A and B are shown apart, each in its own frame.
Chain A
Amino acid sequence: MSTQALPIWRKRLFGTPATGVVTILLALLFAWLAIPIIRWALIDATWVGTSRSDCAPGGACWVFIRARFGQFMYGLYPADQRWRADLCGLAFAFAGAGLFMAPARLRLKLALAALVVLPPLGIWLLAGGFGLRWIETREWGGLMLTLFISVYASLIAIPLGILFALGRQSQLRVIRLVSILFIEFWRGVPIIAVIFLASLLLPLILPSGIGIDRLARAVIGLGLVIAAYMAEAIRGGLQALPPGQREAATALGLGYWKATGLIVLPQALRISLPAMTNEIIALLKNTTLVLVVSILDLLGIAQASLADPNWVGMSMEAYVFSGGIYWLLCYAMSRFSRRLETAAGQRH
């Protein structure tokens, strides 16, 4: 094995003079860039301790992350109530896993049941009322809030996206026009502007006296934008479906909604699932923008933690930790979507 590996690597890295030069340049770049980073993050780093004074100079001080771990995860959510957030996360995770493993014929019914039960359950667990202590949304934060916004904005975006994708394909001119206008408008404006818009306009256009929670405004704004992107992802699936499928369904006597719900959508959604996953990744990355209306998600908490006088100069640690979590979440999802893509490719 090793007798074979060496020549292969020599050929890979030093096969021709030009190859060799590139290899040496990259090695120099690595030595200049990566070695100091690795030394800072691992070798010279401080791992145990309780306060700023335990940190060794010149290295990362992971003690800071350990001390503020609770805030990175839950924001200002009261420590004795954090089990509620955990329980909510577990419920969603179990439901997701259950749906994934359930037999195909039960999946639709289970999904609908979960859709009816889970969202109100999650809000009840997190916000309180009916026996649980009420916790204002301004106390929510951290990774929990990032995931909350992502999940609830997708709950708005996916059904709306399906409707507008169908509307864009519709034979009815007015409905097609309305769908195109909706999609192109939201796709044409920056998400940050939409978050401002939602937080300023929603209270203005509702009857005075009806207050609307600022977190809810951000979720609605994000949900509307992602719905437009989602609609385009689903349109791809609808267009990839042979028109004969709908024609056959119509020939069997199914009306529009039955043909759509039983024949067209299940196949189209399966085709567009990778594209939809990409939109959900984009949504997760865009939740960070709620920072501009002072809602502190994971990145917001990391940013806010820099102002702590007890932990001066911890910006790199905070960024590396929060960035790492975003990276892991998005990378896992993009791997998942790539697997879906190959799985879908093999089926045909």
Chain B
Amino acid sequence: MKPAKGPDTLAKALALLNDKRVRDVIYQVAVVVGLVGLTVYFVHNASQNMVKAGIASGFDFLWRTSGIDVPFVLTSYTQADNILGLFWAGVANTMLVTVIALVLSTLLGFLIGLARLSSHWLLSTVAGAYIEFVRNIPLLFFVLFWYFGVIASLPAPRDSLRVFGIAFLNNRGLTIPLPDAPGNFRWALIAILLAWLAQWLVARWARHRKEATGRDAPVLAIGLGLVVLVPVLAITWASLATRWDIPVLRGFNYRGGFVVIPEFVALLAALVTYTAGFIAEIVRGGIQAVPHGQIEAASALGLQRGQTMRFVTIPQALRVMIPPLTNQYLNVLKNSSFGAAIAYPDVVSLFMGSALNNTGQAIEIIAMALAVYLVIGLAVSAFMNWYNARIALVTR
């Protein structure tokens, strides 16, 4: 018998506990065990609760006929399609409002941000007031305000606001003409893409030539022609060569054309006016972050104001602006779900709302809806990170 052995190993074990590496392992194992335990507990409860409610888990429900009518679809979805089709219809609607809101709010945000920096006192004050106004009010407020306050108070179809006699804005939405055959537009799109490709090649060639010989090429003029003029011409040609289905007032509403539902108009207006306030502040911050000496140096070198803006200020400001701008773009994607509050048929309202009520498959549906946002969000931030890395300052 060795009575000393017991306390000895105990002391050794205790000493081992004082070793930082051992303790670190113990902590991490404890966290993992805790998380796994919690997950098992939740899953166990959920499965019991689902058995009690008579819901089978799994994704089989996606192939059931949905029977849900969607007032605004971009895909070929109809009520007779399955729930997976409903899901894609929601994704398409989310993407549509997100992309259009991104473009418009960037444009408006840049305008307001530049106005905020303008040397014109009144202009910068008005821009500042706008920014302070929208940033301190909830987005949902704007969504409801545009929907129930503004669009609901628009005139009835009979007295619509007419835009050149072809588009009509009333309390049932915006009715726009729709081309009968999209064929010409397909050709126009190809022409535009080719022009953009050509512009990219010209810019590359010009850069190489400038590095090699130091001579400038008229990149701006060619670029404007290729990037702006060609699309304008192509779209004009396509619109003239196509027969249009122009909406006509019959009875109480317009027939023909394409109806942009009021929910879309309200959500888009709210997203754009709200996000523009945040983007304006990012633009202002970015431009102000460029040291003033840079601009003085540019003018000492004889650069004109426009050149200074193009070659000195904007490239440096972009570096500061891209990361917060990425955040705002992701916010627009996530905030497009605010449409659920006014029943705009996006992923959240169609899938987490209608489909969930019909099928009761809470876990699967929530997982799919969240996955949409996570996947699109990751794609957007990956693209913006790539762009950020491309324009980042290279230090040698």
Contacts and interface: CB of A to CB of B under 8 A. Distances in A.
Interface of A: 12-13, 19, 22-23, 26, 171-175, 178, 185, 188-193, 196-197, 200-201, 203-208, 281, 284-286, 288-289, 291-292, 299, 303, 306, 315-316, 319, 322-323, 326-327, 330-331, 334
A189 B338 contact: no
Task: Bin the interface of chain B by size.
Answer: 35 or more
B11 to A, nearest CB: 21
A26 B123 contact: yes
B348 A193 contact: yes
Given A12-B121, A193-B370, A208 B145 contact: no
B28 A319 contact: no
Contacts of B230: none
Contacts of B152: 315
Given A188-B377, A190-B336, A203-B49, 20 more contacts: A22-B120, A190-B337, A190-B348, A191-B334, A192-B338, A192-B341, A196-B353, A196-B366, A201-B363, A201-B366, A204-B45, A205-B42, A285-B137, A289-B338, A291-B341, A326-B136, A330-B135, A330-B137, A331-B136, A334-B136
A19 B118 CA distance: 10
B46 interface: yes
Nearest to A322: B141
A302 B374 CA distance: 33
Interface string B100-134: 00000000000000000000111100100000110
User: Main SS of chain A's interface residues?
Assistant: helix
A292 B122 contact: no
Given A172-B27, A175-B31, A201-B363, A207 B122 contact: no
B52 A208 contact: yes
Given A172-B28, A175-B28, A319-B144, A205 B46 contact: yes
A23 B24 contact: no
A27 B257 CA distance: 38
Contacts of B139: 285
Contact of A192 (B43, B45, B337): B337
B362 interface: yes
A312 to B, nearest CB: 13
17 contacts: A23-B120, A172-B24, A172-B28, A173-B28, A178-B31, A178-B35, A189-B370, A191-B334, A192-B340, A196-B352, A201-B363, A205-B42, A208-B49, A285-B140, A299-B140, A319-B149, A331-B132
B234 interface: no
A26 B27 CA distance: 63
Nearest to B125: A26
A26 B31 contact: no
A200 B136 contact: no
Interface string B36-68: 000000110110111010000000000000000
A171 B24 contact: yes
B373 A190 contact: yes
Nearest to B356: A200
With a 10 A CB-CB cut-off, give which of B49, B132, B153, B356 has the most chain A CB atoms.
B49
A292 B340 contact: yes
A292 to B, nearest CB: 6
Contacts of B32: 174
Contact of B122 (A26, A175, A196): A26
B201 interface: no
With a 10 A CB-CB cut-off, give which of B43, B335, B337 has the most chain A CB atoms.
B337
Contacts of A291: 140, 341
B146 to A, nearest CB: 10
Interface string B362-387: 11001001100110011000000000
B138 A326 contact: yes
B148 interface: yes
B56 to A, nearest CB: 15
Contacts of B35: 178
A197 B370 contact: yes
Given A196-B366, A197-B366, A206-B45, A303 B27 contact: no
Contacts of A203: 49
Contact of A174 (B28, B353, B369): B28
Nearest to B52: A208
Given A190-B335, A316-B149, A323 B27 contact: no
Contacts of B28: 172-175
B348 A196 contact: yes
Contacts of A284: 138
A70 to B, nearest CB: 21
A288 B141 contact: yes
B231 to A, nearest CB: 29
Contacts of B136: 281, 326-327, 330-331, 334
A289 B138 CA distance: 9
Given A13-B121, A26-B122, A174 B31 contact: yes
A175 to B, nearest CB: 6
With a 10 A CB-CB cut-off, give which of B31, B48, B153, B330 has the most chain A CB atoms.
B31
Contacts of B133: 327
Contacts of A285: 137-140
With a 10 A CB-CB cut-off, give which of A175, A196, A208, A303 has the most chain B CB atoms.
A196
A97 to B, nearest CB: 23
A190 B353 CA distance: 15
A323 B140 contact: no
Nearest to A173: B28
A208 B48 contact: yes
Contact of A292 (B135, B341, B356, B377): B341
A171 B24 CA distance: 9
A286 B362 CA distance: 23
Contacts of A175: 27-28, 31
Contacts of B140: 285, 288-289, 291, 299
A26 B50 CA distance: 61
A299 B144 CA distance: 9
B337 A299 contact: no
A192 B46 CA distance: 22
B232 to A, nearest CB: 26
B373 A188 contact: yes
A206 B43 CA distance: 9
B46 A204 contact: yes
Nearest to B126: A26
Given A204-B363, A288-B140, A330-B136, A193 B369 contact: yes
